Amino acid sequence: MLVYLLIIIFISLAVGLVFFLLKGDRGPKEPVGALWLAAGFGLLGALAAGLVEKKFIPIGTLQAGAPLSSMMFSYLGVGVIEECCKFLPLAFFIFPKHYFNEHTDGIIYFVIAGLGFGLPENILYTMQYGSKAGIGRLILTPFFHATLTGMVGYYLVKAKIDKKNILTVLPVLILAILLHALYDFGLSSGTTLFTFISVTVTLALSANLLNLFFRAQDLDEEMGIAAVGHNAYCRSCGQINGQHYLYCTRCGKRA
């Protein structure tokens, strides 16, 4: 019974985070199909990462008791595989899209991809290893994948808005890989110090995501690419509602 409750909580947290980000998006409404595609990219990324890891990462080097050097190297490989599988397919798909044009978009789409990757993982771990594992992941990792990918997504859309090469996001992707590897290694190392570092990493990533999202809102407002205020744009058709009418003059629906 507790296992199913934990699964419901994981799903509720993921849905809640998405609604929080979409509510904070002050620009035109994002295409619903594109949002679902982002989640699909994340899910497919999880499947691809699982296959690649099974082929190239020896399972014994990821378990407690393995030499720390081998464990660290293997978790670095896991970080490379998972962060690239989460980020790269969606990045190359969405970067040229016309609706990928606000700072908040970089966080929204890539957080959703991270949730598409991480939510099934949390559910599977909980079902396979029981409520104790589920509670541990609920405390430490409900948004872990989303925070890492959202961070890289923010700098991706910033590169587009600032008219920089897409490769300028590479250092941030490398940082995400290293943080991912450090987090996984710390939890598996069995040492108090590295476990503490892992907890610090996941908490810092959550705080960083919020900070980046609020910064993105401010940047969009400064650049005049976000509508600010009550009924400033229509949540149905996504058009600017400059007069702040209760009902949109374009589509006729409640703004």
pLDDT tens, 17-56? Answer: 999 999 999 887 899 999 999 999 999 999 999 999 999 9
Write down the mean pLDDT value for the chain: 92
pLDDT at 242 over 90: no
The stretch 110-132 carries a mean pLDDT of: 95
pLDDT at 228 over 90: no
The stretch 97-114 carries a mean pLDDT of: 96
Where residue 235 falls among pLDDT bands split at 50, 70, 90?
Answer: low
In three-state secondary structure terms, 190 is coil
Name the phi and psi angles at 40, rounded to 5.
-65, -40
- pTM passes above 0.75: yes
Q: Rounded to an integer, what distance in angstroms lies between the CA atom of residue 159 and that of residue 156?
A: 5
Model pLDDT, residue 199: 94
The stretch 131-139 carries a mean pLDDT of: 91
pLDDT tens, 154-178? Answer: 999 999 999 999 999 999 999 999 9
pLDDT at 245 over 70: no
pLDDT at 110 over 90: yes
Residues 134-141: contacts with CB under 8 Å, at least 24 apart: 134/2, 134/3, 134/6, 134/7, 134/10, 135/6, 138/6, 138/9, 138/10, 140/187, 140/198, 140/199, 140/202, 141/202
pLDDT at 244 over 80: no
